[in-house]
Amino acid sequence: MKVENLTQGGVLDPLSNGVLSLSLLGDDYVLLYAYHSSNGREKSLVNPSPYKIWLDSAPTAVWPTGSGYEVTVGYDTPGVSSELFVSFERVKPGNALNKVYGQSAFGVTASGRGSQIVSVPIPDGDLNDPDYVFPHPMAGNTSCMGGWNGTVRI
Q: What is the pLDDT of residues 54-79, one digit of tens each?
A: 888 888 888 887 788 898 888 888 77
pLDDT bracket for residue 147 (50, 70, 90): low
Across all residues in the chain, what is the average pLDDT? Answer: 78
| 19-42 average pLDDT score | 83
pLDDT bracket for residue 97 (50, 70, 90): confident
Q: Are residues 4 and 37 in the same domain?
A: yes
How many domains, the chain?
2
Buried b (16+ CB within 10 A) or exposed e, 65-80: eeebbebebbbbbeee
Q: Are residues 39 and 60 in the same domain?
A: no
pLDDT at 138: 47
Q: Are residues 56 and 24 in the same domain?
A: no
Q: Are residues 36 and 73 in the same domain?
A: no
Q: Are residues 131 and 148 in the same domain?
A: yes
Determine the Cα angle at 146 with ends 141 and 147, to 5°.
160
Other C-beta atoms lying within 10 Å of the C-beta of residue 86: 28
H or E element in which residue 123 lies: none
Q: How far apart are CA 148 and CA 24, in angstroms?
A: 30
Find the Cα–Cα–Cα–Cα dihedral 79, 23, 21, 36, rounded to 10°: -50
Q: Are residues 118 and 43 in the same domain?
A: no
Q: Are residues 56 and 14 in the same domain?
A: no
pLDDT over 70 (residue 106): yes
What pTM, to 2 d.p., does this model score?
0.69
Q: Are residues 45 and 118 in the same domain?
A: no
Provide the residue range defining the domain that includes 118: 51-154
The closest of 94, 71, 41, 76 to 145, measured between CA atoms, is 71
